Structure 1
Amino acid sequence: MLDVLIDNTTAILVFLVTVVLGWYILTLPRMRNMPPGPLPLPVVGNYLMIARPGVSLLTLFPTLAARYGKIFTFLAGSTPIILINDAKLVKEAFIKNGNIISSRPQHYYVVKKISDRLGLGMTMSNGRQWKELRRVSVTAMRDMGAARTSMEGSIQEEVTELLKVIEKVKDAPVDLKPWLMKATSNIISTIVFGSRFDYEDLRFNLLLQRLAKATSVNIFFLAVNFLPLVRYFCKKEETFIKSLETINAHIKELLADREESFDPSNIRDFVDLALRKRMDDPKERHFQDLNMRRAIVDLYSAGSDTTATVLHWLLLFMADNPEIQARCQAEIDEVLGDVRMVRYADRVRLKFTDATVLEVLRLRPVAPFGIPRYVEENFDLGGYTIPRGSVCFPNILAINKDPELFAHPDRFDPTRWFGENGEVTGRDRIVSFSVGPRSCSGEAVARMELFMFFTSILQFYTVLPGVEGKPVDLTPVLGFLNKSRHQELVLKKR
């Protein structure tokens, strides 16, 4: 009996060793001349490195970047994920080779489920659909926002509404993030629907709650995308998808109202542009109900919680660095006083304030690993071969803390952005909005919002920690976005 057990155990061990050796024999040659990376395990690749207790992408990927250099391979299951940790290499990959690395991966399990239930919209679509939806969204942001008034005017209007709220809660600890999200989401609302929502609107608040919940999950690194067996007992993706479904249903109601008032001779916003495209070509599937609703969801996702998150980081850094806040306020007082509203053109004179926004964007990039790019053909990058079928991410966190670009990269220092002539310079050293054809289409609007909201708050209020004597917690929490921990702040009237 013992001999049989030993023989069976030996046979199982031989089988397992054979499988492991066979996997390495088949896999490692395929990875020859690919960027270096940690030695993968059979079947799971390197994915177990993420699953270890106390490990997150925010700690793991910077560690791997420090070990392997400007570009490395992380094998998730059998999918090579290429992390590019250098600004020049990101631009070479996403701009020079943009024609073969601008698609989104369609083979991800979560992407397939979203496509079946909600469509791909603008963010995850490819080809003509993506180009058409992006073109219409850019046109709306450029020309149609706030019923043909200037985008700057829309932001000034929303600044006024936000300051009214702050005035009611001043001098007491308050969680500002929900109010910041309402303000930034209303800018998107003017672009999409040509009007803003009241802050107490129940449907508006439900929409924002679902958006925040959706961005708490980074769907691109979920195990279900890479390890098929996990799909039978882990449903983390359902939180994200159900949030999208609720948002989609809400958008459907709003669209029904807009379709009744549509006038093709009076194009007011993104919805009207899309409806006219549909009217001009009824067979054009890119602007049919499902894709159009999903594109609107994408616009809200890209322009609400994201901008509000950066604004919240700005206020947290001010509460933690009172000397920098005081210097911003002194500059604002000199240029604007306490009467005139800020304009985006004031950025030229509010140099230290502008540099402070840049510095927070550097230290807390809102999406530190961006959105994946699918490689459609082999290409060379940094002396390595990037194979067809792999997925590339810009490691924005590593780029923004590259010691070759930024001395003492962990230090919060807005003065690093000043050149010898005293002007703010070197904006292209950070890639917080990504680069190339799939870069953030709302970057110009987001930069305008960040500067104008931040400046306006400091013009009238001083930001203090929520609890006197207790340090501000600047530890990030990563879902899809690089969010701050829940905490209150005090805004004291100046």
Structure 2
Amino acid sequence: MLTISQALVALIVFLLVMQFLNLQQARKHLPPGPVPLPLVGNLLQLKFQFHRDLLMKLAKTHGDIFTLWFGRTPIIILNGFHAVKDGLTTHPEDVSGRLLSPFFKTMAQGKGKPLDPSFYLFHSISNVICAVVFGYRFPSEDENFHKLLKATENIFRFGGSLGYSLYEFFPWIMDHLPGPHKKAFSSYEVLNCFAREEIRKHLERGTPDEPEDFIDFYLAEIEKAKDGTKSAYDEDNLAHSVIDLFLGGSETTSTTLHWGLLYMVAYPDIQEKVQQELDAVLGSSQLICYEDRRKVSYTNAVIHEIQRFSNIISVGMPRICVRNTELLGFPLSKGTIVLPNIASSLYDPEQWKSPRQFNPGHFLDKDGNFVSQEAFLPFSAGHRVCLGEHLARTELFIFFSNLLRAFTLRLAEGVKQVNIEPVFTSTLQPHPYRVCAIPR
């Protein structure tokens, strides 16, 4: 007779074999991909993380639309410019669903001298979104601002870690274990408390006749919805929207500028050409506005190349099919997760002359005029394109142009070279560096 332990082992083996067979059956109806294992799917092959280059490598074997399995959940990967563009825009309504990650769902429920430019960039960029959302700016020494900065840093650093991946795949287990996810939840609560305090202050002073910021506009919509009709406008949604705007509107643009200054130090000849153009076209005293980008083709090309080459989002945000649809010839059922590999479009060798090199010429014609490129998709595409795209483009041009017109950026004394390989967090960050900003 079998012992209890032997029977238990036999049962586990039987269940694993059955799941393996079920996975093989399910694979027949989806795009091709590497063979998934029971329980973990393809997570071992991915080392429990998404990496843009690994996805591009898998595409060489399985094609530009392929399937990866996270446990028993299939995720459809779109790779290369044509797959990403067609997959997100051919039937944009069908793949417009937003995937709510277990981690962020839990957070939403409440659980001249060398200097490092990162703080100054974050402070300047975040104050733009603060003016839009809260109606005021933070002084650099403000204690609350430093708390928000630290909380934001903790959340984004956790987002690219192994701990984040484990939480996404096994939230029911991680909720009961200690680890860095607890610190990230605490950091989110810092942002949540601040957002709710700002909402309380706005409520106390009342909604002005002319709304002055995002919170005012939102509170006005809440007031309109009090007529008894069902509405999605409420204070909880407002708090979460404020946090989303602060995180998305601060970190991504400041990180892109952080990369931009690093590239100017790494490629001083490009920096010099930008400065020469700015001096010749805009002069030293003219106020720079967004429309000036049309006059300075090379500077505009450099900014676009900073976005392309740094590719701070790496793999794009996942989408969910909201109805049965067809992508690139493959039928997909409602609820299927689609993941566009944005990096594969920005580095697609069929679309870019030298995809793995920093080359502003990617956005210039033979006469030196700026030309846009279809494969330039740093803000994604389709119905879930980045909400803040226009604001981000405006900020990048105005901040970058003003900085390069006012300063020459050089390496700190004794430093011979810089590291332009990324650090993988929620966004791809440059390694910490120090730069000398010499007034011109």
Structure 1 residue 28 displacement after superposition = 1.4
Q: Check if 1:183 corresponds to 2:124.
A: yes
Quick one: which amino acid aligns to residue 180 of structure 1?
L
Structure 1 residue 40 displacement after superposition = 1.2
Instruction: Look up the SS of the partner of 2:437 in the other structure.
Output: strand
Quick one: which amino acid aligns to residue 22 of structure 2?
L
Quick one: which amino acid aligns to residue 169 of structure 2?
F
Instruction: Look up the SS of the partner of 1:74 in the other structure.
Output: strand
Where does structure 2 lack aligned partners over 5 or more consecutive residues?
none
Structure 1 residue 372 displacement after superposition = 1.6
Q: Check if 1:372 corresponds to 2:318.
A: yes
2-structure distance, mates of 1:12, 1:470: 62
Quick one: which amino acid aligns to residue 31 of structure 1?
R
Answer whether contact 1:310 1:366 (CA < 8 A) is retained.
Answer: yes
Structure 1 residue 457 displacement after superposition = 0.6
- 2:198 aligns with one of 241, 254, 262: 254
1-structure distance, mates of 2:350, 2:203: 53
Structure 1 residue 318 displacement after superposition = 0.5
Answer whether contact 1:219 1:237 (CA < 8 A) is retained.
Answer: no
Instruction: Look up the SS of the partner of 2:110 in the other structure.
Output: helix
**Match of residue 141 from structure 2:** 200
Q: TM-score, normalised by structure 1?
A: 0.82
Structure 1 residue 350 displacement after superposition = 1.0
Q: Check if 1:267 corresponds to 2:211.
A: yes
- Quick one: structure 1 residues 113 and 339, their matched pair in 2 at CA, closer, same or farther if it must change by over 3 Å? same
Answer whether contact 1:466 1:487 (CA < 8 A) is retained.
Answer: no
Instruction: Look up the SS of the partner of 1:429 in the other structure.
Output: coil
Equivalences for residues 336-415 of structure 1 within 5 A:
336-415=282-361
- Quick one: structure 1 residues 101 and 467, their matched pair in 2 at CA, closer, same or farther if it must change by over 3 Å? farther
**Match of residue 181 from structure 2:** 237
Equivalences for residues 37-186 of structure 1 within 5 A:
37-51=33-47, 57-106=51-100, 108-117=101-110, 171-186=112-127
Answer whether contact 2:411 2:435 (CA < 8 A) is retained.
Answer: yes
Structure 1 residue 65 displacement after superposition = 3.0
- Quick one: structure 1 residues 113 and 56, their matched pair in 2 at CA, closer, same or farther if it must change by over 3 Å? closer
Structure 1 residue 33 displacement after superposition = 4.2
Instruction: Look up the SS of the partner of 2:76 in the other structure.
Output: strand
Moved >4 Å (runs of 4+): 11-17
- Quick one: structure 1 residues 477 and 487, their matched pair in 2 at CA, closer, same or farther if it must change by over 3 Å? same
Instruction: Look up the SS of the partner of 1:490 in the other structure.
Output: strand
Instruction: Look up the SS of the partner of 1:81 in the other structure.
Output: strand
Alignment identity in percent? 29
Q: Check if 1:334 corresponds to 2:280.
A: yes
1-structure distance, mates of 2:329, 2:383: 23
- 2:396 aligns with one of 436, 447, 450: 450
1-structure distance, mates of 2:171, 2:312: 30
- 1:226 aligns with one of 157, 166, 169: 169
Structure 1 residue 230 displacement after superposition = 4.1
Structure 1 residue 308 displacement after superposition = 0.2
Q: TM-score, normalised by structure 2?
A: 0.91
Structure 1 residue 256 displacement after superposition = 2.2
Where does structure 1 lack aligned partners over 5 or more consecutive residues?
119-170
Instruction: Look up the SS of the partner of 2:436 in the other structure.
Output: strand
**Match of residue 426 from structure 2:** 480
1-structure distance, mates of 2:14, 2:310: 46
> CA-to-partner distance for each residue in 1:384-405, whole Å, 9 max, x for gaps?
2334332112211111000000
Aligned pairs, number: 435
- Quick one: structure 1 residues 4 and 43, their matched pair in 2 at CA, closer, same or farther if it must change by over 3 Å? closer
Structure 1 residue 417 displacement after superposition = 0.9
- Quick one: structure 1 residues 424 and 491, their matched pair in 2 at CA, closer, same or farther if it must change by over 3 Å? same
Structure 1 residue 312 displacement after superposition = 0.4
Greater mean alpha carbon deviation, residues 323-332 or residues 55-64: 55-64
> CA-to-partner distance for each residue in 1:3-24, whole Å, 9 max, x for gaps?
999x987x78765654443222
Answer whether contact 2:320 2:335 (CA < 8 A) is retained.
Answer: yes
- 2:150 aligns with one of 209, 213, 216: 209
Instruction: Look up the SS of the partner of 2:374 in the other structure.
Output: helix
Answer whether contact 2:133 2:214 (CA < 8 A) is retained.
Answer: yes
2-structure distance, mates of 1:172, 1:36: 55
Quick one: which amino acid aligns to residue 187 of structure 1?
V
Structure 1 residue 109 displacement after superposition = 2.8
- Quick one: structure 1 residues 241 and 421, their matched pair in 2 at CA, closer, same or farther if it must change by over 3 Å? same
Quick one: which amino acid aligns to residue 42 of structure 1?
P
Quick one: which amino acid aligns to residue 455 of structure 1?
S
Instruction: Look up the SS of the partner of 1:338 in the other structure.
Output: coil
Answer whether contact 1:193 1:270 (CA < 8 A) is retained.
Answer: yes
Instruction: Look up the SS of the partner of 1:215 in the other structure.
Output: helix
Structure 1 residue 289 displacement after superposition = 1.9
**Match of residue 142 from structure 1:** none
Answer whether contact 1:313 1:484 (CA < 8 A) is retained.
Answer: yes
